Amino acid sequence: MDTVKLTKLAECAGCGAKVGAGELVKLLGDLPLHTDERLLVGYDRSDDASVYKISDELAIVQTVDFFPPIADDPFRFGAIAAANAMSDIYAMGGEPRLALNVMAVPEDMPRETVHEILRGGYTKVYEAGAIITGGHSIYDKEPKYGMAVTGFVHPEKLLTNAGAKPGDVLIYTKPVGAGVLTTGIKAEMVSKETAEELEQLMMTLNRGARDIMVKYRVHACTDVTGFGLMGHLLEMAQGSDTEVHIRPDRFQLLPQAVELAEMGILPAGMYRNRHFAEAFVDVGDTPLPIQDLMFDPQTSGGLMIAADPQDADALLRELSSSPDVPAACMVGEVAAYTGGSRIYLA
């Protein structure tokens, strides 16, 4: 297994391989849209997962996510992919319960490597309190792994990315810069210590942040992944018919992220995200490398929480004191839409 460099087998790493949000709009635009009164959230909402009401007490939350290797270690690749897939459930305020493996592997990949990818996924799912019940695998020249996940949520406690209200405080729960760093790792420009910190971060479940978040008055939430901070915040602002004001200097940034961005070591997904969202973003005087990090695709990123201003300080304190939450940063606020840009960087 030591001779298999998984990231060398993939053109793009992790969520940086996602089809751009702008392209997705075009691909889905002409498809027929069926409605059902029990479908609380569908793909027309640009949300993290679909939600279907079973009863007044129960709704199911469904999502699927998979991607090419984000780490050379197969166990860690599997664990990161699983944490990333389950994150959509946490962002909706739900709890994952069932998972199905989705896997593509080269025919000549060593059996031990495939086993370790799966073991990483199983370990992380069991940590979340869910179970894996099956899956599907195919042969492909480029390895890919992820999961289809089903979770549960009370219909009245469901969170979407479209519920933000003017006055809400925005809190983010992980450091930023994963896409830039994974690009730097492929170019062998990142220290072992920083690479280790990044992989540990991506393997961290958003369960801890979710468990704290649901105790407070939260109006909207989304997990930040392949579309980057600006892409996911744009979906929140448009879905809520609001605008957001962001302080880039308040985000916790991963070591070497700014340095690599200054050198132009940027993933292709950053350019796709910028192309999609920049027309709606007023960057102000924000330096270009910091702008790039705001558009940087994140893999297994944190939760972006729009909290009621009366609860925001208490929520931030509890998140900050939890060993299960990598970061807790008050990064901006939501305001009434005044026309023009949807996101303002200050």
- Taking each helix axis as running N to C, give the angle between helix 268-277 and helix 288-295, from 0 to 180 degrees, rounded to the nearest 10: 90
Catalytic residue among 12, 15, 221, 329: 15
Residues 6+ positions from 37 with CB-CB distance below 8 Å: none
Q: CA 76 to CA 344: how far, in whole Å? A: 36
Phi, psi of 62 (to 5 degrees): -125, 140
Neighbours of 273 (CB within 10 A): 30
Could you give the 3-state DSSP secondary structure of residue 241?
coil
Q: For residues 222-235, b (16+ Cβ closer than 10 Å) or e, as one string?
A: bbbbbbbbbbbbbb
Paired with 82 in beta bridges are none
Contact 239, 162 (CB under 8 A): yes
Please give the Cα distance from 287 to 261 (Å, whole number). 11
Q: Which residue has the tokens 């009434």?
A: 336
* 29 token code pair: 């635009």
- The question of whether 221 is a catalytic residue gets the answer no
Tokens of 219: 């109006």
Amino acid identity, residue 264?
Answer: G
Strands 144-153 and 59-67, bridge-based pairing: antiparallel
For the sheet with 169-172, list strands across it: 218-223, 303-307, 169-172, 329-336, 242-246, 343-345, 281-282
CA 15 to CA 161: how far, in whole Å? 19
d(CA 172, CA 137): 35
Residues designated catalytic: 15
